Amino acid sequence: MYCVYIIRSVSLEKFYIGETKDLEERIFQHNSGFYNSAFSRKAKDWKLYFVLECNSRTQARKIEAHIKNMKSKKYIQNLKEYPEIALKLKNKLN
C-alpha cells in the first residue's frame, strides 16, 4: 500500500514530504544519506511526523503534490492535528 509521509528534522527545523510503498525503508534512506543530492541528506535526525495511507501511487503523488504546493508549515501541522483535513484531501484526490 502506498502512503504519503511527512518527516521532521529537529536540527533543521524542517519538514520533508514524500510518497512511498515501503515507509520503514524510506525513512532509513533519509537518515543514512542514501541519495547524494537529496534535500534530506542535510540531517540525520528525520522522524516520522505524519502518514496517510492511499489507495494507489497515483493518489499518493497527487496528495504529495498538493501538500508541497501549499508551502505551509501550519498546513502540515493542521494535517496532524485535525484528521478530518486528511480524510477530505484523500476523498478529493481519489
Look-up of cell digits 502512503: 3
pLDDT grade for 75, boundaries at 50, 70 and 90 = very high
Question: C-alpha dihedral over 24, 39, 36, 62, to 10 degrees?
Answer: 60
Contacts of 11 (CB under 8 A, 6+ apart): 43, 45
Q: Cβ contacts of residue 74 below 8 Å, gap of 6+?
A: none
Say whether pLDDT at 78 is over 90: yes
Residue 60: which pLDDT band, with cuts at 50, 70 and 90? very high
**pTM, whole model, 2 decimals?**
0.95
**Which CATH number is 3-92 given?**
3.40.1440
Window from 10-14, 33-37, 51-55, 83-87 with minimum mean pLDDT:
33-37
